[in-house]
Structure 1
């Protein structure tokens, strides 16, 4: 199993969350088996997303998807997300 930690700043959490909640099918199709969203206590627009995958190759393919990048742009992600994979 591979666990991905995705840390990024968003312009507005509520706007970001609306888009995030629409991409469940994309996540499932991309191999996400579990997901959770967390906000920094003192900075609610600093978001940590945790996704579980069967393996690192599936995770890497998911993060390379053009439709994922488009959804992140549409949701107001600021800058380049920090993506870390753990096994």
Structure 2
């Protein structure tokens, strides 16, 4: 199963988390299953979020989207800070 790792910097965690949570329905519709939301211990103004998903094409259509960009504005995401990485599980040696 593939994974999606998202890193973002923000000005206020509560504001960011409210905007993040507002997209729950959209993420569910895209088939994104939230694994965890974490904060960087060395930089608490950075969130690192991990999702699981099945359909790469469906998820890629979400990046970018008007709804996502609006949530970034509402959440105080620092412009240019978002990093999106698609991952797959490593095979055993």
For Structure 1 versus Structure 2, the TM-score category normalised by the shorter chain is 0.7 to 0.9
Structure-1 separation of matches of 2:61 and 2:26:
12
2:31 is paired with a residue whose SS is coil
More strand by proportion, 1 or 2?
A: 1
Shift of 1:35: 3.6
Partner of 2:49: 49
Partner of 2:87: 86
Structure-1 separation of matches of 2:55 and 2:46:
27
More helix by proportion, 1 or 2?
A: 1
Mapping 1:1-87, distance limit 5 Å: 1-80=1-80, 81-87=82-88
Aligned residues: 87
Structure 2, unaligned runs of 5 or more = 89-93
Is the 8 Å Cα contact of residues 33 and 54 (structure 1) preserved in structure 2? Answer: no
Structure-2 separation of matches of 1:70 and 1:45:
19
Larger radius of gyration: 2
RMSD: 1.4
Structure 1, unaligned runs of 5 or more = none
1:67 is paired with a residue whose SS is helix
Shift of 1:69: 1.4
